[in-house]
């Protein structure tokens, strides 16, 4: 438990949190939408500082980040809590724990201990993931500062709902992010997630401006966000606002949590979505949880660059100068020539 950052005191001991776009106003004794920030006698505190609920060594490809030190390990950490309530959340047991179980579990692990564990395991990065890292900002920030001193990169896997104020504070330490673009209709965000689309788009653009390496993920859910026109609109946004080198991961949905009456995404939907992304001008579009190729090819000449299956890299042909060995076209990303 620790005093939170990024909040203001209002009249009558109420507080307003400026960590995410919900900007909750919280009465004394109350909690924000995420349920992990509490107004205690007019002071906002975070209930998840040093309360680690998950830590694993994952391939960076699992985040997914395909253009950031491919083949490296990401020391992956999370606390309980989320500012979204997606009906299809795969990690709802920990993301919705404070809201649904009215408790916050976690092991007391300091930022220094996380960095030491990441270094001992040989990881190239620390990934703040599984739940929404925005809601454990103070913990992730303190860890990220120490990680940078230890020459370990920092990666957010996020829903993109943080404020520009939070991102301004974090960005000197944040190297890469995978941002979920869960739909391209505000109505879907409101109905299924309890949020809005525009703040996510704003975050994506700001991350790009700040020089953070960004990859985008969209989980394709039948009849919810897989309309071709919606996907064309999303692809156009990524190309025009984030650039054609931005990787777009299009994953298959499988029934889970509160969305068990929707069938798995047909392979054909992923194929069509990939075609839409490429037709819009994106250089790197990948299918996830599917039979689609996971490999990276040169967008200019088609040469195989990084041969992947699932999260495993079989061959990396990218030159030491991060170019295609056949035609010399630059390969977008960071550390693409990792061996
Ligand atoms: S992080 Fe977001 S959801 Fe949580 S209290 Fe702050 S504004 Fe509300």
Ligand 1 atom closest to the Cα of residue 18 is: 7
Residue 292: pLDDT band (50, 70, 90) is confident
Give the per-residue pLDDT at 70: 95
> Which candidate, 200, 193, 197, 195, places its Cα nearest to that of 177?
200
Query: What tens digit of pLDDT does each residue of 78-137 get?
Result: 999 999 999 999 999 999 999 999 999 999 999 999 999 999 999 999 999 999 999 999
Judged by average pLDDT, the poorest of 41-55, 193-207, 248-262, 282-296 is 282-296
Judged against a pLDDT cut of 90, whether residue 289 lies above it is answered with no
> What are the distances in angstroms from CA 103 to CA 92, 140, 206, 280, 304?
14, 21, 34, 45, 49
pLDDT score for 119: 98
Cross-strand partners of 7: 17
Burial class (CB in 10 A: 0-12, 13-18, 19+), 233: middle
Can you tell me the distance from the alpha carbon of 328 to that of 298, in angstroms, rounded to the nearest whole number? Answer: 9
Q: How far is the CA of 150 from the centre of ligand 1 (A)?
A: 30
**Angle 51-53-56 from CA coordinates, rounded to 5°:** 125
Output the pTM of the full model.
0.97
Average pLDDT across the chain, whole number? 96
Ligand 1 nearest atom to the CA of residue 23, by list position = 7
What is the pLDDT, as a whole number, of residue 307?
94
pLDDT in tens, 155-182: 999 999 999 999 999 999 999 999 999 9
- Across 185-212, average pLDDT: 97
- Does the pLDDT of residue 339 top 80, yes or no? no
Question: Nearest residue CA, atom 7 of ligand 1?
Answer: 23
User: Residue 311 has what pLDDT?
Assistant: 87
User: Ligand 1 atom closest to Cα of 4?
Assistant: 6
Pocket-testing residue among 37, 39, 104, 195, ligand 1, by greatest number of atoms within 8 A of Cβ: 37
For residue 204, which of 252, 249, 246, 155 has the smallest C-alpha distance?
Answer: 246
Return the structure tokens found at 323.
């170019």
**pLDDT at residue 293 tops 70:** yes
Res. 61 pLDDT band, cuts 50 70 90: very high
Count of CA atoms in the C-beta half-sphere (13 A) of 201: 17
Phi, psi of 118, deg, nearest 5: -65, -45
3-state SS, one letter per residue, for the chain: CEECCCEEECHHHCEEECCECCCCEECCCCECCCCCEEEECCEEEECCCCEECEEEEEEHHHCCCCCECCCCEEEEEECCCCCCCCCCCCCHHHHCHHHHHCCCCCEECCHHHHHHHHHHCCCCEEEECCCCHHHHHHHHHHHHHHHHHCCCEEEEEECCCECHHHHHHHHHHCCEEEEECCCCCHHHHHHHHCCCCHHHHHHHHHHHHCCCEEEEEEEECCCCCCCHHHHHHHHHHHHHHHCCCCCEEEEECCCECCECCCCCCCHHHHHHHHHHHHHCCCCCEEEECCCCCCCEECCCCCCEEEEEECCEEEEECCCCCCECCCCCCECCCECCCCC
Instruction: Please give the pLDDT value at position 125.
Output: 98
- At 290 the pLDDT is 85
Let me know: does 34 contact 90? Beta carbons within 8 Å.
Answer: no
Averaged pLDDT, 248-263: 96
In this predicted structure, the answer to whether residue 284 has a pLDDT above a threshold of 90 is: yes
Gap from CA of 256 to ligand 1 centroid (Å): 25
Ligand 1 centroid, distance to 85 Cα (angstroms): 13
**Distance separating alpha carbons of residues 77 and 105, to the nearest angstrom:** 14
- For residue 109, the tally of other CB atoms under 10 A from its CB is 18
Q: Average pLDDT for residues 217-240, to the nearest whole number?
A: 98
- Residue ranges around ligand 1 (CB below 6 Å): 17, 19-20, 22-24, 32-34, 37, 83, 135
Q: Give the integer Cα–Cα distance in Å for 204 and 179.
A: 7
Counting from 1 in the atom list of ligand 1, the atom nearest the Cα of 33 is 3
């Amino acid at each position: 438990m620790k005093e939170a950052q990024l909040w203001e005191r209002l009249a009558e001991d109420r507080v307003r949190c400026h960590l995410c776009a919900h900007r909750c106003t919280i009465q004394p004794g109350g909690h924000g939408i995420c349920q992990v920030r509490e107004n205690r006698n007019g002071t906002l505190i975070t209930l998840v500082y040093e309360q680690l609920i998950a830590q694993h060594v994952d391939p960076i490809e699992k985040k997914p980040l395909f253009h950031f030190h491919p083949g490296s390990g990401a020391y992956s950490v999370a606390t309980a809590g989320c500012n979204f309530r997606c009906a299809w959340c795969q990690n709802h047991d920990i993301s919705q724990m404070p809201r649904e179980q009215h408790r916050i579990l976690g092991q007391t692990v300091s930022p220094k201990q996380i960095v030491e564990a990441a270094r001992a395991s040989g990881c190239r990065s620390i990934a703040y993931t599984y739940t929404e890292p925005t809601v454990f900002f103070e913990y992730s920030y303190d860890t990220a500062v120490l990680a940078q001193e230890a020459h370990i990169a920092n990666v957010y896997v996020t829903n993109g709902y943080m404020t520009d104020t939070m991102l301004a504070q974090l960005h000197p330490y944040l190297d890469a992010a995978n941002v979920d673009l869960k739909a391209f209709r505000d109505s879907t965000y409101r109905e299924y997630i309890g949020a809005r689309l525009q703040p996510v788009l704003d975050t994506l653009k700001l991350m790009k401006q700040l020089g953070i390496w960004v990859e985008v993920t969209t989980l394709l859910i039948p009849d919810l966000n897989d309309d071709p026109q919606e996907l064309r609109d999303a692809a156009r946004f990524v190309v025009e606002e984030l650039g054609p080198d931005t990787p777009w991961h299009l994953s298959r949905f499988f029934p889970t949590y509160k969305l068990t009456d929707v069938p798995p995404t047909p392979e054909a939907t992923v194929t069509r979505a990939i075609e839409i992304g490429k037709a819009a001008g994106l250089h790197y579009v990948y299918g996830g949880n599917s039979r689609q190729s996971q490999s990276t090819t040169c967008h200019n000449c088609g040469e195989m660059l990084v041969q992947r299956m699932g999260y495993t890299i079989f061959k990396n042909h990218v030159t030491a100068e991060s170019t295609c060995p056949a035609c010399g076209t630059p390969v977008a990303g960071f550390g693409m020539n990792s061996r």
